[in-house]
Amino acid sequence: MTQRLQGRTALITGSTSNIGRSIAVAFAREGAHVVVSGRDETRGAEVVAEIRADGGKADFARADLDGTPALSKALADEASALLGGRVDILVNNAGIYPPSSTPTTDEETFDRVFGVNVKAPFFLTQALAPAMIGAGGGVVLNLGSWITRLGVPSGAIYSTSKGAMETLTRAWAAEFGPKGIRVNAISPGVIASAGWDAQTRDIADVMMRGTPAGRSGHPDAIASAAVYLASDEAEFVHGIVLDVDGGRTGVAVVAV
């Protein structure tokens, strides 16, 4: 099996579960030494154990990123140390989605969403980009969302924060691309979570009804896209947002 990320190092935020976990496992299988990061040390240890049991390289760095530059820099420093002094690939995956409408969103919630979803990855990228440039280049992958371009009647703040990340992707591609850092994003569709209850799964199925896929996706689909964008196969790809959403945003949905 060809290991497309052999010899690379990677930090994946929010990688103790769901999409982040799948990306960490996939990167390790492709030969990368990964740092799994998140708030839950128990779940982080489980991901690291899974990767190591499969013959991969992984370490855990606990982080509760809130948007303050100090916490982002602390994670950047710890990850760099665990990875032998360099981070080749940064995946800005961590995010929160509080279930609030516009009338019920208070200032604290607003600031927390933008702190975690926008400020934290901004300052983490700020902390890691200079070393990537000094080492000859690197890769930054951001996670967007399908609801940044197809409005839904809830989650306005979340969708706005993810729209900001998609805009940062293009801005960073222009800023860092000439210096050797490729910056791209993935926009997941409705992705199933292992923790969903039956009611949530039913809602997800309704949201995907009439799409080409006709069902919610699995986190591994996002991980496969991340492996491609992080690998040399995507060396000529800069500043894109890759939709991995079962056709939810690109194809007219006909309810049946």
Please list the active-site residues. 158
Q: Give the list of residues 6+ apart from residue 54 with CB closer than 8 angstroms, or none.
A: 25, 28, 29
Instruction: Provide the sign of the torsion angle of the four alpha carbons 26, 3, 122, 120, taken in this order.
Output: positive
Q: How far apart are CA 171 and CA 142, in angstroms?
A: 12
Q: How far apart are CA 247 and CA 84, in angstroms?
A: 40
Q: Give the list of residues 6+ apart from residue 18 with CB closer than 8 angstroms, or none.
A: 191, 193, 194, 219
Say what angle helices 156-176 and 120-134 make with each other, to 10 degrees.
Answer: 20
Tokens of 143: 């996670």
Q: Which residues of 48-78 are buried (b: 16+ CB within 10 A; e: fewer)?
A: bebbeeeebbbbbbebebebeeebbebbbeb
The answer to whether residues 246 and 189 touch, using CB atoms and an 8 Å cutoff, is yes
Tokens of 54: 């499969």
SS3 annotation, 209-231: CCCCCCCCECHHHHHHHHHHHHC
The answer to whether residues 249 and 159 touch, using CB atoms and an 8 Å cutoff, is no
Tokens of 225: 């896209």
